[in-house]
């Protein structure tokens, strides 16, 4: 589990390898990640966009960018938390992701960027 706080917004990430959805012999490794976003700030915010950089050992990195997270643009009042689960597939079984969220303050429409901490994804059999 990794955590980072940006402007009072705490982002925590937990990852898990999914062996039942993976096929190592076909270079297909699936991971899920659970993200918890906690609004420790003084203003109500809305998550508008996400941007991910995905690194797959020995393969080209890729970028994913778009609206919201898993089809949602959650609004968090001060003290509220939002949690979601998403996934990533890798060819090597070893990789990492790092990203940002674009947040908007509801009161005045001002936007700011929140960092998502870098997190690793390693299939257990790749550790041997």
Cα(119)–Cα(95) distance, integer angstroms = 9
Are 21 and 29 in contact by the 8 Å Cβ rule? The answer is no
Are 81 and 37 in contact by the 8 Å Cβ rule? The answer is yes
pLDDT in the model for residue 111: 98
Q: Examine the pLDDT at 29 and tell me if it is beyond 80.
A: yes
Residue-range definition of the domain harbouring residue 78: 2-123
pLDDT in the model for residue 125: 83
- CATH number of the domain enclosing 96: 2.60.40.1470
Q: Is residue 6 part of a domain?
A: yes
DSSP-derived secondary structure letter, 106: T
Backbone angles phi, psi at 42, to 5 degrees: -100, -5
DSSP-derived secondary structure letter, 109: -
Q: Is residue 116 part of a domain?
A: yes
Q: Is residue 60 part of a domain?
A: yes
Instruction: Give the pLDDT confidence of 41-91 residue by residue, as tens digits.
Output: 999 999 999 999 999 998 999 999 999 999 999 999 999 999 999 999 999
pLDDT in the model for residue 128: 66
Q: Is residue 128 part of a domain?
A: no
Backbone angles phi, psi at 60, to 5 degrees: -65, 145
Domain count, the chain: 1
């Amino acid at each position: 589990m990794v955590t980072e706080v940006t402007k009072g917004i705490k982002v925590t990430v937990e990852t898990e390898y999914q062996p039942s959805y993976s096929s190592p012999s076909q270079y297909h490794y699936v991971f899920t990640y659970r993200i918890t976003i906690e609004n420790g700030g003084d203003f109500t915010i809305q998550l508008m966009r996400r941007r991910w950089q995905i690194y797959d050992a020995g393969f080209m990195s890729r970028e994913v960018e778009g609206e919201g997270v898993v089809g949602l643009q959650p609004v968090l009042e001060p003290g509220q938390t939002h949690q979601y689960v998403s996934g990533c597939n890798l060819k090597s079984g070893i990789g990492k992701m790092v990203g940002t969220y674009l947040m908007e303050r509801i009161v005045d429409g001002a936007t700011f960027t929140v960092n998502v901490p870098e997190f690793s994804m390693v299939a257990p059999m790749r550790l041997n």
